[in-house]
A and B are shown apart, each in its own frame.
Chain A
Amino acid sequence: MSLSESIENLLMSVQKPVRYMGGEFNAVMKDPGAVDVRYAFLFPDTYEVGMSHLGMKILYHAINARPDAWCERVFSPWVDMAGLMRRDGIPLFSLESRTPVKDFDLLGITLQYEMSFTNILEALDLAGIPLRREDRTEGPFVICGGPCAYNPEPLVPFVDLIALGDGEEETIQTIEVYKRWKESGLPRDEYLRMAAQIPGIYVPSLYDVEYNVDGTVKAVTPKPGSGAPAVVRKAMVKDLDAAAYPEKLIVPYGEIVHNRIMLEIFRGCTRGCRFCQAGMIYRPIRERSIPRLMDMAEKLVSSTGYDEISLMSLSSGDYSCLPELAHRMVERFAAKRVKISLPSQRIDTVLTDTLKETQKVRKTALTLAPEAGTQRLRDVINKGVTEADLIRSVTDAFDQGWSAVKLYFMLGLPTETDEDVLGIADLAEKVRRCYFSIPKERRAPGLRITVSASVFVPKNDTPFQWSPQLGFDEVVRRQQLLRQALSRLKGVDFKYHAPDVSYIEAVFARGDRRLGEALERAWRLGCRFDGWSDQFRYDLWLQAFRDVGLDPDFYVTRERSTDEVFPWDHLDCGVTKGYFLREWEKAQHAECTPDCRKGCTGCGMKRYPGACEGR
């Protein structure tokens, strides 16, 4: 029986067989005999989650634009499918051609969140690839990229290369260097040494880590003679208009999380919120031009048949000509019944005009993220918005016919007090009053305010990388304090979660190389799909740390001194440690740093020739 037939036989018995089916419209098929490099791209979560990810679509397109390479998709099989695959001896396979992953040349894995790390080990094991790099003598090289790549140390035992920064060009370079290596006939390790010369590529096996007696890192240095750089600086695509972007998107059959056209209008963010890793690692800001965006939208609408375009970025309200863009999009596509939506709305931009435009086609819940309940704490985190901004935005929205507002906050931010926690309830009450201040005949019925409070996780490569995470019991107490305060407000829902996932996330965000042992142990104990609350096993994680003799509190609640060497200090995300430190110190005094569009704040990006041009 062929592999494809064996897979078919399982599909009758699993939930959502569409996940493993392939054959979607616009999926790229090539003749395997006619390409030099076969690239498997693994998104280590389910099909529905992975198919909603823009980065994967961009790289799939960029690789497949080359006649000499074929990129195919791989997703984590859900636990039912994984069980059946093990029972029947079916290896992890690609969706397009149903080829075993171990037969590919390169295996790219995107690291979107720490809680997908066990899925990577599960995928390697299902593929029949030895987990540890040093045990592999054949099979694909494993390359990890994405936001978590800026501190990949816990994954180091399992991967060959780490790709830092924008993937459009560096992914292609890993393929070109692979071809050169294959032609050369040199031993396996030689590919790693060659790849270490690509800008943005970090080859962890070429570095030694020394520790201090207290367990902190003393130094990470390239092995003598390896030719690897002392510091690896991320790759950056300067001109987004010229960068690869798909003209066709795969259109799935089943429903996925974001089933629509995603148009990345710019990359990077100039705000400088101190908790936000994305706001740091995706710098500098690079906008796509309106003509390029209109052209992309036009092609994607006709090649996919989608009836919705989402204008994507970290902070779409900051696009320099958003009203014009929204207006032209609405005008161009209204006749085709294509809706335009704007996610991650900010509360301090001039919303009203844009709201009017998008409302013509669609009315979704207005999502705002004040993040903290008092002005003092918003200044600490450098969320440059005021209560007046928020009130103006929601009043405008209610006046335009919105009736649903989602408010996002974090609990456990540095310097937070009970006053800040109760400030969240106070804000919710003020938003409520805004709604009732609109005359009844003008406002839409059915006010719904949702307050979501997540637990703050200090991340590497942010000004808060020195901050301890708030202790478990204290998080629970503050959650209950807020819950009680909000329960008095009619029409307000409160959403929060147990802090256990955030705790494990915090371990890995600022973890070191030794954590690879704990990760492997946790996977062997049965941890996988840790981002799914029905699969997450906190007890097994704690057991894993005990088994390998590591104290998770060392990574989570420990106060770090300002001269500590971090496990990721040899990886340069573009923003300097000196900038983070200045920002950390300003945070202690609730001192704001303005948006860098209003003047350079010296984050370090200007070390890239041509970055931040015209600013």
Chain B
Amino acid sequence: MRALIRFGKQPRLRFISHLDLQRFFQRAVNRTGLPIAYSQGFNPHPVMSFGSALALGWTSEYEVIDIKLSAPMGRKRTEDAVRAALPEDLPVLEVRMVDDRHAAPMALVKMSDYRVTLEGEGASAVIAQIPAFLARERVEAVKKTKSGEKVINARTMVIGLEPTEVGFDARLMLTERESMKPDVLIELLADMAGVEPPRARIHRVALLGEDGEGNLRPLMEL
């Protein structure tokens, strides 16, 4: 049996790196007192995985961790135990028990929704470029890969983009092959506006995947 746990990352803890968060959870699951499944081998560790890494400095209300249990456990008990093992700045938002055949969250993620708040000079100029960006068929961006640099079409990876009073809401591709990050999007918009990228607060609102019929659904509901 596995527990899918959605948790948030509040502003105070936004500078914890993904690697540190992984180490943190290794200890946190030990604190839950739940029957955690361990990997085999010389140096066993709790079997768990994350939905998607969150970049340093971003906040979120849709982080997903998948923890394998060695014995069946009720949803409520799991939720209470995990909540007690996490600090208040990593709030538990949703818990779902799934069986071992359920696909790993990481494999299900297709897109992510972000809320971006822009501050200071250049913010309004960047927001003003959104209609122009959406009107284009191709926006080239340079992506660094293992084998060097590659020019990609960023436009096709921006699924949704709506201006708000203080920034924008964006739905961006997030798969191993195609992914777009909100900070890169800000840079592209700033470039189009001819300004320096403004200071931004980036918040993940949701992770999304596709159900059997190809409909987009929040990850926890798949």
Contacts and interface: CB of A to CB of B under 8 A. Distances in A.
B57 interface: yes
A304 B11 CA distance: 23
A305 B27 contact: yes
Nearest to B38: A337
9 contacts: A11-B15, A27-B87, A253-B16, A253-B20, A254-B20, A301-B30, A305-B27, A305-B30, A307-B26
A18 B27 contact: no
B128 interface: no
Contact of B87 (A12, A23, A336): A23
B33 A302 contact: yes
Nearest to B29: A305
Interface in A11-45: 11-12, 17-18, 21-25, 27
B130 interface: no
A253 B38 contact: no
Contacts of A307: 26-27, 30
Interface string B62-102: 00000000000000000000000111010000000000000
A471 B13 CA distance: 50
B21 A8 contact: no
Contacts of B20: 18, 253-255
B143 interface: no
Interface string B179-219: 00000000000000000000000000000000000000000
A276 to B, nearest CB: 35
A269 to B, nearest CB: 32
A23 B15 CA distance: 11
Contact of A25 (B12, B17, B28): B28
Contact of B89 (A23, A251, A303, A306): A23
B31 interface: yes
Contact of B15 (A21, A251, A302, A306): A21
A23 B13 contact: yes
Interface in B129-164: none
A21 B27 contact: no
Interface in B5-29: 11-13, 15-17, 20-21, 23-24, 26-29
Contact of B27 (A17, A23, A304): A304
B24 A253 contact: yes
B24 A251 contact: yes
A306 B12 contact: no
A523 to B, nearest CB: 29
A8 B38 CA distance: 37
A21 B13 contact: yes
B44 interface: yes
Nearest to B85: A305
Nearest to B33: A302
Contact of B16 (A18, A27, A251, A301): A18
A124 to B, nearest CB: 27
Chain B contact patch, size range: 20 to 34
Nearest to A254: B20
Chain A, interface size category, equals 20 to 34
Contacts of B57: 12
Nearest to B15: A17
Interface in A243-287: 251, 253-255
B22 to A, nearest CB: 11
B87 A25 contact: yes
A255 B26 CA distance: 13
Nearest to B57: A12
Given A254-B16, A305-B28, 18 more contacts: A11-B15, A17-B15, A18-B20, A21-B13, A21-B15, A23-B12, A23-B87, A25-B24, A253-B20, A253-B24, A254-B17, A254-B20, A304-B27, A305-B27, A305-B29, A305-B30, A307-B26, A336-B30
Contact of A253 (B21, B30, B33, B85): B21
A253 B86 contact: no
Contacts of A8: 11
A440 to B, nearest CB: 23
Nearest to B27: A305
B23 A255 contact: yes
A302 B29 CA distance: 10
Nearest to A17: B15
A18 B15 contact: yes
A302 B31 contact: yes
A304 B27 CA distance: 7
Contacts of A255: 20, 23
A253 B13 contact: yes
Nearest to B21: A253
A98 B176 CA distance: 40
A11 B15 CA distance: 8
Contacts of B11: 8
A254 B17 CA distance: 8
A305 B24 CA distance: 9
A249 to B, nearest CB: 11
Interface string B93-137: 000000000000000000000000000000000000000000000
Interface in A210-258: 251, 253-255
A337 B29 CA distance: 13
Contacts of A27: 87
B13 A251 contact: no
B27 A306 contact: yes
A185 to B, nearest CB: 38
Contacts of B44: 337
A200 B131 CA distance: 73
A305 B33 CA distance: 9
Contacts of A23: 12-13, 87, 89
A301 B33 CA distance: 11
Nearest to A21: B15
Contacts of B23: 255
A301 B30 CA distance: 8
Interface string B30-46: 11010000100000100
A48 to B, nearest CB: 12
A303 B31 CA distance: 6
Nearest to B119: A9
A304 B26 CA distance: 11
B15 to A, nearest CB: 4
A337 B47 CA distance: 14
Q: Most chain-B Cβ atoms within 10 A of its Cβ — which of A8, A254, A255?
A: A254
Contacts of A304: 27, 31
Interface string A55-85: 0000000000000000000000000000000
B28 to A, nearest CB: 6
Contacts of A17: 15
A16 to B, nearest CB: 9
B31 A305 contact: yes
A21 B12 CA distance: 7
Contact of A251 (B12, B17, B27): B27
A8 B85 CA distance: 25
A25 B28 CA distance: 9
Nearest to A362: B43
Contacts of B12: 21-23
Contacts of B16: 18, 21, 253-254
Nearest to A24: B87
A5 to B, nearest CB: 10
